[in-house]
Amino acid sequence: MSENEKIRPRDWGRTDGGVWRVVIWLVKAMAAIAGVALGVLALLTCADVILRALGRPIKGVFDLVRVIGAVCIACAIPLTTAVKGHVAVEYFFNKLHRRGRVVVDSLMRLLTITMFAFASWQCVVYGGLFLKNREVTATLEMPVFWVPWVIAVACALSAVVVVYHLLFPGRELVRL
C-alpha cells in the first residue's frame, strides 16, 4: 500500500465517501418523501374543502391525512437532525465551561441515540402487532402496519445521524 492510499485520521470524518455518503443519501431520500407527502396533504386538503363545499367530500380523507401526515413527520426527522434543526434551550449550557459543555453535549447525544434506537425498536414491534392483528384504517380499510415501520426507519436513521454528530462535533451531516 502506497503512502497516498493509507487512510489518514483526518479523512475519517469526510462525508464524501463510505458509510456517510449512504447516510446522506438516505436522509435526503426521506426528506424528499416528506416533501412529497406534504404536497399531497396540501392538495388533498384543498380538494376536500372544495369538494365538501360542493356536497361531494372525499371518502376516507381523514384516514389518508392521518397516514400521510405520520409519514411526512417521520421522514422529516432525519433531515432536521442532520442539519441540527431541533429546538434547543442553551441558556444554562452556555454558562458551563468548555469541558462541561463537552461532557453535557456528549451525554445528551448518547441519550438521544438511545432514545431514537428505543423508539425505532418499539415502532418495529408496534408495526408487527398491527400486521398480526390486521389493523386497518377506519373508513378505507387500508393496512397500516407499514406506518410504524416507516417511523422506525426514520428513528434509526436519526440515531445514526446523532452518532455522526457525536463523532464529529460542530459539524452538520447535511447543509441546506
In a domain, 175, yes or no: no
In a domain, 174, yes or no: no
What's the confidence (pLDDT) of residue 15?
53
Supply the pTM of this predicted model. Answer: 0.87
- Residue 29 buriedness (CB in 10 A; 0-12 / 13-18 / 19+): middle
What one-letter code names the amino acid at 94? N
Which 8-state DSSP code applies to residue 17? Answer: S
What are residue 83's phi and psi, to 5 degrees? -95, 5
How far apart are alpha carbons 109 and 167 in whole angstroms?
10
In a domain, 89, yes or no: yes
What's the confidence (pLDDT) of residue 172?
83
CB 67 within 8 A of CB 137: yes
What's the confidence (pLDDT) of residue 117?
98
What's the confidence (pLDDT) of residue 16?
55
Angle (CA) 37 42 45, round 5°: 120
In a domain, 173, yes or no: no
Domain count, the chain: 1
What's the confidence (pLDDT) of residue 170?
83
What's the confidence (pLDDT) of residue 7?
46
Domain extent, residue 24, equals 3-167
In a domain, 114, yes or no: yes
What pLDDT tens digit does each residue of the chain (176 aa) get? 455 544 444 555 555 568 999 999 999 999 999 999 999 999 999 999 999 999 999 999 999 999 999 999 999 999 999 998 888 878 888 889 999 999 999 999 999 999 999 999 999 999 999 999 999 999 999 999 999 999 999 999 999 999 999 999 888 899 88
DSSP string, 70-105: HHHHHHHHHHHHHTT-S----TTGGGS-HHHHHHHH
In a domain, 83, yes or no: yes
What are residue 143's phi and psi, to 5 degrees? -60, 140
What one-letter code names the amino acid at 66? R
